[in-house]
Amino acid sequence: MKYKRILLKLSGEALMGNRQYGIDPERLAEYAEDIKAVTEKGIEVAIVIGGGNIFRGVAGAMNGMDRVQGDHMGMLATVINGLALQNALEDAGVKTRLQTAIKINEVAEPFIRRKAMSHLRKGRVVIFGGGTGNPYFTTDSAAVLRAIEIEADVILKGTRVDGIYNTDPEKDSSAIKFDHITFDDVLRKGLKVMDTTAFTLSQENDLPIIVFDMNTRGNLMKVISGENIGTQVSL
């Protein structure tokens, strides 16, 4: 295995499967099985989950809602997804802990870095909900922040696309995929990997990002074992 401790970023939309909204239990169960398989190899897994399948602060603001209020709703949406993922993982026989950046003590542990690292060392999957706990941030930023804090080897950004292309592969059939690209080249070419705050935090801390297709079963294991199936961004 190429990596020992990973941070997996899953978007809220990934949980929708083929639905238009909410959570697809089949997709969730598939993710849980893939995550279980890598934990059985002794890989330490932390997960940051998004909330876009339920609510986005920006969307609320466009409809006239106060942005901060909307962001709070978005953060709570990530906790809902975290609970769903926790349930699916526990159903699959994986030990988990959910830690949140905003305190909901009856529902989840508060985020405590040293505790999170201790859970990981004991083989528990740690899910981080509530993003960074601050409005105007995204769960991509939360993913990078937590990955640095827990000293993860890499961020694995699981998406429905199998990597980073020079143009949008869902719109342009001649799009070319990069196997590897530097942070500087992503910025120079104006490619979209994560929002700028998240991306530069990763760059400044020399934390590589691998973008890969999480919706193909077994891909998570392939990426962790070092197979070049997605796009790696590094210095």
Binding residues: 9-12, 51-52, 56, 71, 132-139, 159, 165, 168
Residue whose entry in the numeric block shows the structure tokens 């993922």: 85
What would the two tokens of residue 101 be?
A: 């950046």
Nearer to ligand UDP, 60 or 208 (CB): 60
Report the 10 Å Cβ neighbour count for 31: 25
**At closest approach, how far in Å is the CB of 162 from ligand UDP?**
18
Considering the complex, state which of residue 86 and residue 139 has its C-beta at the smaller distance from ligand UDP: 139
Kindly give, in sequence order, each residue whose CB lies less than 8 Å from that of residue 47, ignoring residues fewer than 6 positions away.
Answer: 7, 8, 9, 10, 35, 85, 125, 126, 127, 128
- In this complex, which beta carbon is closest to ligand UDP, that of residue 58 or of residue 235? 58
* Nearest of 70, 99, 101, 97 to residue 86 by alpha carbon: 97
> Binding pattern to ligand UDP, positions 117-136, x when CB under 6 A?
--------------xx-xx-
CA angle 131, 148, 89 (to 5 degrees): 55
Given the complex with ligand UDP, which of 134 and 182 has the nearer CB atom? 134
Q: Does 12 bind ligand UDP (CB under 6 A)?
A: yes
Residue whose CB is nearest to ligand UDP in the complex, by number: 50
Nearest to 95 by CA among 139, 35, 154, 153: 35
Q: Is 139 in the site for ligand UDP (CB under 6 A)?
A: yes
Q: Which residues are annotated as a binding site for UMP?
A: 51, 71, 132-139
Closest CB to ligand UDP among 37 and 148?
Answer: 148
Binding mask 38-57 for ligand UDP (x = CB under 6 A): ------------xxx---xx
In the DSSP assignment, the letter for residue 111 is P
Residue pair 148/205 in contact (Cβ under 8 Å)? The answer is yes
Q: Which residues contact ligand UDP by CB under 6 A?
A: 11-13, 50-52, 56-58, 70-71, 74-75, 77-78, 131-132, 134-135, 137-139, 141-142
